[in-house]
Amino acid sequence: MTDSDERERLKALETRISQVRAKHDPKPAAQDHHSMAQVGWRMVIELVTGLLIGAGIGYGLDWVFDTMPLFLVLFTLLGFAAGVQTMMRSARELGLKADQSTPPHAGADKED
């Protein structure tokens, strides 16, 4: 095989690889005007879910052990803490996505 044959085969292979990558790469997410509302509702739902799960577990334990307010209060507070932690994790995740989508030197070419 000659060098030109190998180069042609490599070019053909690169073309096929780029076509397959283009087919399987995720499309960039289009920002719509509802995206911030969706983020807000997601965080509210995470907080309320943590509270409800904690209160449910606490009420169930109080019902089993017949100690009505003790576990309900304790697990409601733990559920709140878990909900806040989940909210913060989501906010961090969304912040990282936003940081990756903006160019590293946006606005750096303007002089004051």
Spatial distance between the Cα atoms of 76 and 56, rounded to a whole number of angstroms: 8
- Mean pLDDT for the chain overall: 84
Residue 64 lies in a domain: yes
Residue type for position 41: W
- pLDDT surpassing 50 at residue 12: yes
**Torsion angle in degrees (nearest 10) through CA of 42, 47, 48, 53:** 120
Q: Into how many domains does the chain fold?
A: 1
Q: How far apart are the first and last CA of the chain?
A: 60
The answer to whether residue 12 sits within a structural domain is no
Asked whether residue 32 is domain-assigned, the answer is: no
Residue 81's domain comprises: 46-92
- Sorting pLDDT into bands at 50, 70 and 90, what band is 112? very low
What pLDDT is attached to residue 34? 66
Q: Is residue 29 part of a domain?
A: no
pLDDT, one tens digit per residue, over 36-82 is: 888 889 999 999 999 999 999 999 999 999 998 999 999 999 999 99
Q: Is the CB of residue 50 less than 8 Å from the CB of residue 79?
A: yes
Residue 3 lies in a domain: no
